[in-house]
A = this chain, B = another copy of it.
Amino acid sequence: MSVPKVVILGAGYGGLMTAKGLAKELGYNEAEITLVNENKYHYITTKLHEPAAGTAHPDHARVSIPSVINTKRINFIQDRVSAIKLNEQEVQLENGEPLKYDYLVIGLGSAPETFGIKGLLENAFFIRNINSVRQIREHMEYMFSRYASEKKEELITIVVGGAGFTGIEYVGELVDRMPELCHDYDVPMEKVRIVNVEAAPTVLPGFDKELVDYAVKYLEGKGVEFLVNTPIEECTKEGVILKGGQEIKAATVVWTGGVRGNKLVEESGIETMRGRVKVDEQLRAPGYENVFILGDSSLVFNGERPYPPTAQISTQQGQYLGKQLAKVIRGGQITEPFVYKPKGTVASLGRREAIGVVGNKKMTGGSAAFMKKVIDLRWLFLLGGVGLALRKGKL
């Protein structure tokens, strides 16, 4: 007798939590669990702004997958998904044999949303994964290294497109990095420009105004220039052209302005909005009883508006699905809907500063920065227990 095959695509927050949950809930021989991921490691999206700025080694933002799963229960495959064939109940891989499934969990993350801005995909960098942030750091350092002989100010100008969470956290990290970077490359600090460009009328749209003001004041005090209400019209090899025609010459342009769902989901035939799927209350894809979608490729609504894609919601989805899917596999049914419980939000502004709302409490400065570290530590606990938290965490 064959056991049900569960295939989980993506070892992000949602996929990993689902896999770990299933492995915990189900006994041997109740299901065959396969986890597919492009890299051998899980990366901690909420920390990517650190290696992107060079304030932390990329290893601090990633965790080896086999080290945090029970490899006797979960079959881990390192490969890239090339297609999802819903009608054949099959997943095609770039290198390996196709995988048949009885239950499919899709947690393939996001892709940059460029809103049709010309030249962005070709010329900008993205805070997206370990590979992309290493490139940002190395590109920036290479540009800085050229300044001492070429003396062109665009070499030490960094434009960050988007002043959402990722944009602000990255800018905060850059500010922390600058003294060391300028020392190492003999660059006069006062010549460096960090320009954060945002199309919306405010930095951190939707966030508490008092906290936004705190963040802007802090970062402006460190020399960051904010341009709000300022859409980018085009990104070129030389920099960005703003709406109205003004050009900012910058050797490094990093786009953090938004994400969309993974195109494999779109290509699978499931109905999407910007590549994201409006899942039902049980995280199912519309029309497919046995296909679940988690994380950045899923849309969960809070009244009329979807929740923004975050590590927090993905983690809760994964925890939910691990438990519920185990019931289904045992022949039962999912009885309770997924309900997102926001625990709060903290945005770091470098190592010692942050802003946040936890419960109804607003926080700034050192206590918010501490809270951010506690949140990061909590994920390490969930992933790999105390050992991992001690190895990778920092307070």
Give the B-binding residues of A (Cβ under 8 A): 57-58, 130-132, 134-135, 137-139, 141-142, 144-146, 148-149, 184-186
Residues of chain B within 8 A of A58, CB atoms compared: 184
Interface pair B145/A137, CB less than 8 Å apart: yes
Inter-chain contacts of A57 with B (CB < 8 A): 184
The CA-CA distance from A130 to B146 in the complex, in Å, is: 11
A134 touches B145 (CB 8 A): yes
Q: Are A142 and B138 in contact (CB under 8 A)?
A: yes
Complex formed: what's the CA distance from A154 to B337 in Å? 52
Name which of A142, A146, A149 has the most chain B CB atoms within 10 A of its CB: A142
Residues on B with C-beta less than 8 A from A149 are 131-132, 135
CA distance A138 to B146 in the complex (A): 9
Find A142's partner among B135, B148, B184, B185 (CB 8 Å cutoff). B135
Q: How far is the CA of A109 from the CA of B390 in the complex (A)?
A: 52
Point out the residues of chain B lying under 8 angstroms from A184, CB to CB.
Answer: 57-58, 134
Within the complex, what minimum Cβ distance (angstroms) separates A118 from chain B? 22
When the two chains form the complex, which single residue of B132, B138, B148 contacts A134, counting CB atoms closer than 8 Å?
B148
Closest to A58 in B: B184
Expressed in whole angstroms, the Cα–Cα distance for A131 and B150 within the complex equals 10
Provide 13 A-B residue pairs closer than 8 Å at the C-beta atoms, listed in order of the A residue.
Answer: A130-B148, A130-B186, A131-B148, A131-B186, A132-B149, A134-B145, A135-B146, A137-B145, A138-B138, A139-B142, A139-B145, A141-B141, A141-B142
Q: Contact partner of A185 among B134, B139, B148, B186, CB < 8 A?
A: B134
Bound-complex Cα distance A292 to B134 (A): 49
Bound CA span A184–B141, Å: 15
> In whole angstroms, what is the CA distance A149 to B149 when docked?
30
Q: When chains A and B are docked, how far (Å) is the Cα of A132 from the Cα of B184?
A: 13
